[in-house]
Amino acid sequence: MAGINLKYQYARLNVAEKLIAINVAVYILNALIPFLLGISKNSIVQWFELPNDFFGFLVQPWSIITYSFFHGGLGHVFWNMLLIFFVGRIFLNLFDGRRFLNVYFLGVILGGLFFMLGYNIFPAFFNVNAALIGASAGASAILIFICTYIPNQEVRVIFFNIKLWYIGVFVVLMDLVQLPTSGNAGGHLAHLGGALLGYLYASQLFKGNDIGSGFSNFFDSIVNLFKRKEKKAPLKTVYKNKSQNTSKNTVNYDAQSKQKKIDAILDKISKSGYESLSKAEKDFLFKAGKE
């Protein structure tokens, strides 16, 4: 019963919360298994971390994604998950879970590429052997996406309100400043890659271009490979049911009408900020994001 209840509770989570749950579960397992088996702490993560050289990457190409599920310590995973949780709440009030995953994982990929390119282009890193882990690039992507899409929206930070674009600029500047001094240059390169993706994604979305649509289609094709092929039903003679057609047309019309209303609200947010919405508009957008 406990297993069934846990599965039910997981199903109720939104996509950002599910991502957090997976990251926390991986962190716990990666700490427990090596300890219980008496093996090296690095024995599992070495197969999933992103190496800094291209030849190492070619041996384990999956690491361009999997590195983001592993963390180096409790503080590392805590702050990343906290950022994903709070920014995810804002993001999912505006867009669906699929777009959240597009921005997040494309940020992870571009962050990983920035990491590898940095260590193979800049002489300061030529003799350094390093590997990348952590969800920071994906978290940076969704943060900067939101800061770019609704820059004038104010959020509460401790005792005062601040516009999102101030937060975005501060985060990017901090990564640039800490790049030569923090001892975690690879991590800051990945943050900058994720931030660039978030900025580009939001900027293109303003122009009507969803640069993540190709990624979604590719991901769907991979998922479909593992789905069981359904047997085709025998051919049957059918007749048209006008009432069913009318019902379908009504559903399609309702869906189109709802999407137009969502688009109009998003346009209003981009021009005047989230606080310009009426309570009814906020409630409608919140409910739409949950569906």
* 170 plus 271 within the same structural domain: no
Q: Determine, yes or no, domain membership for 233.
A: no
- 157 in helix, strand or coil? strand
* 29 plus 145 within the same structural domain: yes
* 27 plus 105 within the same structural domain: yes
Q: Determine, yes or no, domain membership for 35.
A: yes
Q: For 48-71, what is each residue's pLDDT tens digit?
A: 999 999 999 999 999 999 999 999
Which pLDDT value is given to residue 232?
47
* 275 plus 134 within the same structural domain: no
* 174 plus 95 within the same structural domain: yes
* 97 plus 195 within the same structural domain: yes
* 158 plus 261 within the same structural domain: no
| Over residues 158-165, mean pLDDT | 89
Q: What is the pTM of this model?
A: 0.76
Q: Determine, yes or no, domain membership for 114.
A: yes
Task: Report CA dihedral (270, 173, 136, 77) to the nearest 10 degrees.
Answer: -110
| Over residues 11-37, mean pLDDT | 94
* 105 plus 173 within the same structural domain: yes
- The partner residues of 157 in beta bridges, in order of sequence, read 160
Show which of 203, 224, 245 is a domain's final residue: 224
Q: Determine, yes or no, domain membership for 229.
A: no
Which pLDDT value is given to residue 241?
53
Q: Determine, yes or no, domain membership for 248.
A: no
Q: For 245-254, what is each residue's pLDDT tens digit?
A: 555 555 565 6
Show which of 208, 224, 240 is a domain's final residue: 224
- 281 in helix, strand or coil? helix
Q: Determine, yes or no, domain membership for 263.
A: yes
Distance in angstroms (rounded) separating the CA atoms of residues 99 and 261 = 18
* 181 plus 266 within the same structural domain: no
CA neighbor of 138 nearest in space, from 260, 16, 31, 286 = 16
* 53 plus 160 within the same structural domain: yes
Q: For 202-239, what is each residue's pLDDT tens digit?
A: 999 988 899 888 887 777 777 677 665 544 444 444 44
Distance in angstroms (rounded) separating the CA atoms of residues 3 and 264 = 43
Return the minimum-mean-pLDDT range out of 145-149, 184-188, 256-260: 256-260
What is the domain count for the chain?
Answer: 2
Q: Determine, yes or no, domain membership for 146.
A: yes
Show which of 224, 239, 268 is a domain's final residue: 224
- Residue 113: pLDDT above 90? yes
* 76 plus 143 within the same structural domain: yes
Q: Determine, yes or no, domain membership for 47.
A: yes
Distance in angstroms (rounded) separating the CA atoms of residues 175 and 188 = 5
Which token pair is 184?
């975690």
CA neighbor of 51 nearest in space, from 39, 64, 42, 68 = 64
* 259 plus 203 within the same structural domain: no
Distance in angstroms (rounded) separating the CA atoms of residues 130 and 72 = 13
| CATH code: domain of residue 16 | 1.20.1540.10
Residue 33: give the domain boundaries.
8-224
